[in-house]
Amino acid sequence: MQRFEIYRPGVFRFVILALMFAVPSITLGQEQGEQAGEAAGSPTPATESASRALVWTGTGERWLNQTFPEAAVWLELEEGDRALGLFYPEARLPARGAVLVLSDEGETAASGVTGALAAGLASRGWAVLTLGLESPSPVLSEILMRPVVEKPAAEADAEEQQTSESVMIDVMASESADDLEARYRSRINQMLEAALALLVERGYETPAVLGVGRASIHVTNQVLGGAGAAALIWLAPQFYPVDRPDLPERLESLSTELLELYPSGAVDDQTKWDMGMRLRRAGMAGFERQPIPWLTPAPGALGDAVASRVAAWLETRQPQN
């Protein structure tokens, strides 16, 4: 048949040579990326070039460890696992305190707005520990984003069967959807616990915690779980549908003050689920909202402006000497 003519000797040799060069080129590209990062040679883990290089590399731990060896800290997790963060010491004295920052989904401890935000806080007298947040797998992402809608029993049963066939087919053989979600959230909680413990060990007794985007729910769960925090900050928060309905009720018992920095362009958007208004209707005390200029995805250039807002808010809540 004509479609098999590609296997003629001359063409076949060409295909083999192309395949031989393809794999080395990928490896070379990775090595060049690492060499470029090392060539920068800056011990300060906050550069826009680093942000661009790390956006799509998971949590980028190997690259971060090689590029910022003086700032990189390894956090020990359960079952021999570990995670890497970046520590930014306060750049001026007296030290104001510390802030733990969890990046948005798919961002590393230095990419997106995180690196510039941390550098901005450090320059204002705050020590900062940043963590990356790995994106969930496609299957887990569908699980986390599934809508929460109450429907008649018959319709619900039919949809449940369809969902099981389309979304869970790849994981039903080994683990359930709940297992995937629980493991993902558990590892993030372990990271946050270890990071807070490290800051306390270094002399920062009650750090503030800040979550960017979808990280907001994870830092919130950590504080609601009893973690000692001076303040809770949401930066352009986004929440999974499954977390939305009962979050205002859960936050009623929160004794930690909460600041929401929300994108100014979304102020009058009544078509979206508005967490801030729900919290206000629930009568939550110690809650404040402030609009900020924002772009999606957030560039590092916004980091210093956000740092200024966060630092000013935190300083008004510190006891006056």
Contacts of residue 54, defined as CB under 8 A and 6 or more positions apart, other chains included, come to 60, 63, 64, 107, 108, 110, 111
For residues 214 and 219, give the distance between their C-alpha atoms in angstroms, rounded to a whole number: 10
Which residues, in sequence order, are CB contacts of 240 under 8 Å at separation 6+? Answer: 144, 145, 214, 217
> Which segments in the chain show pLDDT lower than 50?
1-43, 46-57, 168, 171, 173-174, 267-272
- d(Cα 227, Cα 254) in Å, to the nearest integer? 11
> What confidence tens digit (pLDDT) does each residue in 144-178 have?
998 876 555 555 555 556 655 555 455 453 457 78
Contacts of 238 (CB under 8 A, 6+ apart): 213, 214, 216
Distant-in-sequence, close-in-space partners of 10: CB < 8 Å, separation ≥ 6: none
Residue 112, sorted as left (phi over 0), alpha (psi -120 to 50) or beta, turns out to be left
**Pairing mode of beta strands 126-133, 82-88:** antiparallel
pLDDT in tens, 100-150: 999 999 999 999 999 999 999 999 999 999 999 999 999 999 989 988 765
Structure tokens at 146: 């599934």
Q: How many CB atoms lie within 10 A of CB 306?
A: 24
Is residue 131 within 8 Å of residue 203, measured between CB atoms?
A: no
Q: What are phi and psi of 127, to 5 degrees?
A: -75, 145
* Class of the domain covering 43-136+175-316: alpha beta
How far apart are alpha carbons 195 and 180 in whole angstroms?
23
The DSSP bridge partners found for residue 263 are 292
* Phi/psi-derived region of residue 272, left when phi > 0, alpha when psi is between -120 and 50, beta in every other case: beta
Fill in the amino acid letter for 265.
Answer: G
Of residues 124, 126, 77, 99, the one with CA closest to residue 196: 99
Q: What are phi and psi of 133, to 5 degrees?
A: -130, 110
Q: What is the pLDDT of residue 118?
A: 97
Q: According to the model, what pLDDT value does residue 249 have?
A: 86
Coil, strand or helix: which one is 109?
coil
**C-beta separation of 87 from 71 below 8 A:** yes
